[in-house]
């Protein structure tokens, strides 16, 4: 699980992140509500079966995506 600080860094650097379910995408928005201290992250994915922008809880982001396999 990535921290909120890392989430903002990934978004600023436009790095791809990996979600718990295996999808890979780029963070486009982070919404944090106070005083509940909950964060929802909007991730742009290229998954054909799902909408292009997915809103997930910050805990569902594992970290940066692994580099693509060369083949």
pLDDT of residue 34: 87
Decide if domain 4-64 falls under CATH 2.30.30. yes
pLDDT of residue 24: 92
Residue-range domain boundaries for the chain? 4-64
Could you tell me what percentage of the chain is helix, strand and coil, using 3-state DSSP and rounding each to the nearest 5? 20, 45, 40
pLDDT of residue 1: 67
pLDDT in tens, 10-68: 999 999 999 999 999 999 999 998 888 889 999 999 877 777 899 999 999 999 998 87
Between residues 1 and 43, the one the model is more confident about: 43
pLDDT of residue 71: 63
Token digits of residue 55: 């809103």
Kindly report the backbone phi and psi dihedral angles of residue 32, in degrees, each rounded to the nearest multiple of 5, phi listed first: -120, 130
CB 25 within 8 A of CB 11: no
pLDDT of residue 18: 94
């Amino acid at each position: 699980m990535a921290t909120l600080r890392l989430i903002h860094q990934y978004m600023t650097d436009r790095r791809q992140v990996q979600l718990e379910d295996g999808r890979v995408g780029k963070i486009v928005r982070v919404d944090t509500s106070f005083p509940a201290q909950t964060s929802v992250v909007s991730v742009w994915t290229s998954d054909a079966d799902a909408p292009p922008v997915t809103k997930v809880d910050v805990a569902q982001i594992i970290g940066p995506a692994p580099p693509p396999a060369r083949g």
